Structure 1
Amino acid sequence: MLGMTALPHLGGFYGGYITRKEVKNWYPTLQKPSWRPPNAAFPVVWTCLYTGMGYGSYLVWKELGGFTEDAVALIEIMLLTGTVGATMVSWYSISRTATLLMAPYLSWLCLATSLNYCIWRDNPRGKRRVGHLFCVLRIICTFS
């Protein structure tokens, strides 16, 4: 619970870290409406919002039964595959060569994802424990 509640704050801290110089130099020069809250209100409000988002996600996760231990590796590799694909899309307009250099990695991840899915699908619950899937994932990633 604590981890999921705190997780959104990491994004907030990171965003604050990235924009801290611009906010100090650029933001004060902008014309702002008279109804704008005072500067001191922003960290308090964002802290409350992030805490609510994190705790709310925990409540939904808990209500849905959390992650089943036999699907964690499959979820992880699916997210990794999607992230690599999204990276390639974002790189295409910058460098087609860089995008193409990622194609073998994406292909290998698609194979590994398919393999993990088939193992998950074709084995009874007791045999497809997270340890087995992580083992397969790590072996595939080691040789890639």
Structure 2
Amino acid sequence: MVNWGMIGAIITPNVGGWVGALTMSGKVKQPDGKAWYQTLKKPSWTPPSWLFGPAWTALYSGMGYASYLVYTECGGFTDDAVVPLALYGGQLLLNWSWTPVFFGKQKMGLGLANMLALDAAAAACTYSFYNVDPTTAYFMVPYLGWLSFATCLNYSIWQRNKPKPKM
């Protein structure tokens, strides 16, 4: 028997990520045709661009499965599920909004502010999930690790590409 609830929980965060990526394609090109992100000064520890898609697919799938575990442990959308699943939804919205801010608006500093709020929201979500079902930590902790790395990367790119002050 197919568990459509679990499949939906896993696919939902991915869909938001895919929509964000698709809506940004074509909007991030410079007049010379180069992708805006490719023109930025980045640290040597920046992962190759091809890695982001598979990494986010795995992370979104893991957090989606964790949300399914919380949902089933709480018996659906019950009073016990309200806080953890609301925190999940909130951090997911912050996650999805980062792409249009950083890439679409090309606002690296605002992207960093968004990322810091996301870090706090994802940590709160992870804590609330863990209190419902400790198994969820296996799926949420890698996400927190990647967010920490992404926050450092966002900060470094922002610092390297700030306009020079006028003398």
TM-score tier after normalising by the smaller chain length: 0.3 to 0.5
- TM-score scaled by length of structure 2: 0.38
- TM-score scaled by length of structure 1: 0.44
